[in-house]
Amino acid sequence: MHHILVVDDNQEIRDLLGRILRKHDLKVSTARDGYEMRECLKNGPVDLIVLDLMLPGDDGMKLCRELRVGSAVPIIMLSAMGEETDRIVGLEMGADDYMTKPFSPRELLSRIKAVLRRTGAADGHPKQPASADRIMRFAGWTVDLVRRELRSPDDVLVDLTGGEYDLLVAFLENPHHTLSRDRLLDITRNRAALPFDRAIDIQVSRLRRKIEAGPEQSMIKTVRGVGYVFSGPVERG
């Protein structure tokens, strides 16, 4: 049973989401602020956090940034603000998805299930790659497809969000092939692109900062007006 943590200062929202998610066989914990969120995380791991942007004390942006320092737990951010800039900032901070209030609880449930499918099968038993195909290598980097881990050429474990990991694997499985933004959204977020959706551009920017030393060593090339292409050699096994 996946464990979902809902962090929102609105009790009605916490209660509503708790009821709906539990009906779909999800374990739910709730918190009304950053303090209660931290206390809940001390009690054991969670599989996904639904995080409100506007909270008393530390806001959602600060908490998201704090979580990303040492954790890749998936985060879906909620906000009453509908401006694109707020969504972009949330994604830049490391959120995996972003929904604007008022929202449909059913749509949120669908988003949660999509993120859980990226980080592990929805039934809790992810399909394992064949042993010969569990490792992918590029430019000295190593990706373990079973453990969903990325290690640097110096054998340092690099934290990736669920979206960043799936984006990297999509590139590695299609080297030298141009992938459109819509296709990458479909692969990594399991939903169609919205008008002017910059989510993929943000994810690519974050991924580049983690695996590239600089523009002169770029492996992920921009194809203007189309999407992106991974230009480096990739090895399996």
pLDDT tens profile 54-70? 899 999 999 998 998 87
Amino acid type, 49? I
Maximum average pLDDT range among 37-51, 65-79, 109-123, 216-230: 37-51
The reply to whether 126 falls in a domain is no
Both 10 and 93 in a single domain? yes
CA distance linking residue 130 with residue 9, whole number of Å: 45
Q: Please say if the pLDDT value at position 125 is more than 50.
A: no
Report percent pLDDT > 70 for the chain: 85
- CATH number for the domain harbouring residue 82: 3.40.50.2300
Q: Select the more confidently predicted residue: 159 or 213.
A: 159
Q: Which of 84, 119, 154 is the last residue of a domain?
A: 119
pLDDT tens profile 2-29? 999 999 999 999 999 999 999 999 999 9
Question: How sure is the predictor about 128, in pLDDT bands with cuts at 50, 70 and 90?
Answer: very low
Both 16 and 90 in a single domain? yes
- Residue range 187-208: mean pLDDT, rounded: 69
- Residue range 181-199: mean pLDDT, rounded: 64
Number of Cα atoms under 13 Å in the Cβ half of residue 138: 23
Residue 102: is the preceding peptide bond cis (ω within 30°)?
Answer: yes
For residue 99, the cross-strand partners are 78
Range of the domain at 8: 3-119
- Among 100-109, 122-131, 193-202, 204-213, which is the least confidently predicted range? 122-131
CA distance linking residue 17 with residue 11, whole number of Å: 10
Q: Pick from 67, 40, 49: which is nearest to 5 by CA?
A: 49
The reply to whether 71 falls in a domain is yes
Question: How sure is the predictor about 102, in pLDDT bands with cuts at 50, 70 and 90?
Answer: confident
Q: In what order do the strands lie in the sheet with 227-230?
A: 179-180, 227-230, 220-223
Q: Please say if the pLDDT value at position 196 is more than 70.
A: no
Q: Please say if the pLDDT value at position 123 is more than 90.
A: no
pLDDT at residue 86, as a whole number: 67
Number of Cα atoms under 13 Å in the Cβ half of residue 131: 0
145 alpha carbon, distance to own chain's centre: 16
